[in-house]
A and B are shown apart, each in its own frame.
Chain A
């Protein structure tokens, strides 16, 4: 069971086999997605017809619209990026405020508030989506009835998608930033204050630099979760489809390998992001 106890040979062999099978299970789907991005055939399916870059570079005239010429797909990547930037900015800002509120201040109802802040994490994304959709529509109807204003931002569309994703991603940012703030040694702040620094200067030169890793980490997580979100977005999306919604629609119609190409692009982007973060994490520790 553990290295210090005798383990029979069959158990060792079984362990190695299990790890092998597990890794195969994990990486097989990703591998086929990557491989069939380069298959010279109109469908992402075997047999292998030879290597091509058509699904990246091909143009419509050849009958193969490659990723870099597919303005619909590129537009949806852009849309996802804009949404993710908004969600990231909002989540990190509000998450930081929440962390200071919960770790530093005392007030009535703090226990209930701290519970409430966690609830978005146990509400299924689809339900967050429909509840915000219904509530926003009610508000929009009210605006029209009372003031005769068309509040278009409350109708399905990107502003609602941003709010829907923010509603639970901010809970994750709050947890991440609070965890780091909790470990902060407050005597550092007291020392700076005793030495005559203003509260603003202490925040800027001591507390925020200390929180930096958590701020960057939660920003990366927020961006990634927003970019990949499907459930909440599906319910709130208007005419501009973010990437996951666009891909879903095309997968139902029967995909061409251009989806593999865009997937490979996403995998590369995630890998670069992950490696950069891990590098940072290591250099911060040493």
Chain B
């Protein structure tokens, strides 16, 4: 097969198949990110005149507002990831282990339905539910819990509710996958050997489900960190989300150098967490991405 017409044909085929893939990765991923890096390491000294500098990163660390928002976004994203795991785990367990046959399939599909609908629509739903003139404050007044309608929007807790809601799917799917493959007889054996619920969970279930948990957490953290819609709409002026800072620099202030530096910092944090998650659970990147 090497050499001759057949080998030549084979090489041409590989080249033809490689072309779109390389064009995609080079033109839309690699070169734009290199360009963004270059942009973030320069400073404008006069119109259309730039010098290499660390000024953009210095501004980030020098201006408390910027790095406060950055740290805040990271912490709230981590909290949202943990909460999503706590909310999603029981339902994944019920789907994978307790519900039988049709019931389990139905419950799984029902869990997926809201995520066929745009995030904009889901956020609109939360706004109608939570704002001062909305449904839940009216119910609270009706029940006599509060005398006046209270504003439930624009709190950190509201942002968390919205983020958990929007992330659930990405946690439930990998969790169900990894729990379904757990052999029930292992749990029975643990029980027969005197294990209680908690110790079985810790020594049998969680180690087995670790790949699914990692995959879910990585994706949820990344999506939460990069979310824009939910924090800005549910948090209003108090949202202080880092993606909003990037948008402000890039689009509102047209300060692309600063925006590029912010973008790179967010990308670095996101990549670091993905890497950390993989390292802690000893998994390969490609296996994790195929789970979600």
Residues of A within 8 A of B (CB): 1-5, 15, 18-19, 22-23, 25-33, 36, 43-47, 93-94, 97-98, 100-101, 105, 107, 113-128, 130-136, 138, 163-164, 166-167, 170, 175, 179, 224, 227-228, 230-231, 234-235, 243-244, 247-248, 251-252, 255, 259-260, 263, 266-267, 270-271, 273-274, 278
CB-based nearest A residue for B109: A278
List chain A residues, Cβ under 8 A from B168.
26
Among A33, A101, A163, A170, contact of B125 (Cβ-Cβ < 8 Å):
A33
| Other contacts beyond A3-B98, A124-B267: 16, CB < 8 A | A1-B187, A1-B191, A2-B187, A4-B188, A46-B133, A97-B17, A107-B18, A124-B223, A130-B36, A164-B28, A234-B228, A244-B119, A247-B120, A255-B124, A266-B117, A278-B109
Distance (Å) between the CB of B215 and the closest chain A CB?
11
When distances are taken between beta carbons in the complex, the residues of chain A under 8 Å from B111 are: 26
Nearest B residue to A123, CB-CB: B267
Complex interface: chain A residues within 8 A of B131 (CB): 45
* B250 & A133 in contact (Cβ 8 Å cutoff): yes
Residues 156-178 of B at the A interface (beta carbon under 8 Å):
165, 168
* CB-contact partner of B267 in A127, A135, A234, under 8 A: A127
| Bound Cα distance A122, B277 (Å) | 13
Chain A nearest CB, measured from B34 CB (Å): 9
Q: Sorted from nearest, which 5 A-B pairs have the closest CB atoms?
A: A124-B226, A29-B125, A131-B32, A135-B32, A101-B17
Q: Which residues of A sit under 8 angstroms from B133, Cβ to Cβ?
A: 43, 45-46
Are the C-beta atoms of B35 and A119 separated by less than 8 Å?
A: no
Q: 1/0 per position for B245-265, CB-CB distance to A under 8 A?
A: 011001100001001100100
**Would B113 and A231 count as touching, CB distance under 8 A?**
no
B14 to A30, Cβ gap below 8 A? no
Q: Is the CB of B124 within 8 A of A259?
A: yes
Contact yes or no, A94 B114, CB < 8 A:
no
Closest chain-A Cβ to B36's Cβ sits at a distance in Å of 4
Q: Which B residues touch A36, using CB under 8 A?
A: 128
User: How far apart sit A20 and B35, CA to CA, in the bound complex (Å)?
Assistant: 50
Determine whether the beta carbon of B117 is less than 8 Å from that of A267. Answer: yes
Query: CB distance A122 to B128 under 8 Å?
Result: no
Task: Determine if B138 is an interface residue (Cβ-Cβ < 8 Å).
Answer: yes
Complexed CA–CA distance, A100 and B33 (Å): 27
Question: What string of 1s and 0s marks CB contacts (under 8 Å) between B194-233 and chain A?
Answer: 0001001000000000000000001000110111110001
B250 touches A130 (CB 8 A): yes
Contact bitstring B174-194, A, C-beta under 8 A = 1, else 0: 000000000010011001000
Q: Give, as a whole number of angstroms, the nearest-CB distance from B105 to chain A.
A: 10
B5-20 CB contacts (< 8 Å) to partner A: 13-14, 17-18, 20
A243 to B117, CA, bound (A): 13
Residues from chain A with a CB closer than 8 A to the CB of B25 are: 113, 116-117
Is residue B2 contacting chain A, with contact meaning CB distance below 8 A? no
Q: Which residues of B from 112 to 130 have beta carbons under 8 Å from A? A: 113-114, 116-129
Q: List 17 A-B contacts (CB under 8 A).
A: A18-B91, A19-B91, A25-B165, A36-B128, A45-B131, A116-B25, A124-B226, A131-B35, A134-B36, A167-B24, A179-B290, A224-B116, A231-B243, A248-B233, A251-B233, A263-B117, A274-B113
Q: Does B94 contact A (CB under 8 A)?
A: yes
How many Å lie between the Cα of A18 and that of B32 in the bound state? Answer: 46
- CB B285 to nearest CB in A, in angstroms, measures 7
Instruction: Report B-chain residues with C-beta under 8 Å of the C-beta of A25.
Output: 165
**Closest-CB distance, A73 to chain B (whole angstroms):** 13
A271 to chain B, nearest CB (A): 7
Check B184 against A2 for contact (C-beta < 8 Å). Answer: yes
Q: How far is the CA of A170 from the CA of B23 in the complex (A)?
A: 12
